[in-house]
Amino acid sequence: MAESKKVLVAFDPEKPDKSSSDFLVPVKNDSGEIEFLGTRSTKSLRYGMVILTSRAVTENDLFAKLVDTGRKVPNVADALDTLCKFLDAMKTVKIGNVVEIVGGSENAITLVVASNTPSGFGK
């Protein structure tokens, strides 16, 4: 079981100083590409900022957040596998990084650092 104390929250490049409590989970869209989904806003988002939580989060915790959005989960095993790979990818980024998700193959999820800090985004 994968776990991490780091999670992602929504990041708006137009308002880099604005804090967010909209946690992000990776989901496959209709075309099969992986994207971020805001658990509070239920919107598809491009960027997320890495934050530290007070407790470890597992793929089951993220799955529960995903189910709470009301979004249909056609394949539970596939969704849990994606979430597990996402938590493994979280080990490669640092707190405060702004990241994008790249899900090139079925076996890997890569988090690409768009900026080392929110205030440095786009500079």
Taking only the tens place, the pLDDT of each residue in 27-47 is 988 887 889 999 999 999 999
Return the pLDDT at 107: 67
For the chain, the average pLDDT equals: 89
Return the pLDDT at 109: 86
- In sequence order, the 6+-apart residues with CB closer than 8 A to the CB of 78 are 28
Question: For the chain, which residues score pLDDT lower than 50?
Answer: none
Distance CA 105, CA 95 (A): 26
48: containing domain: 3-120
For the chain, what is the domain count? 1
Return the pLDDT at 108: 78
Return the pLDDT at 32: 79
According to DSSP, the residues that pair with 101 across neighbouring strands are 111
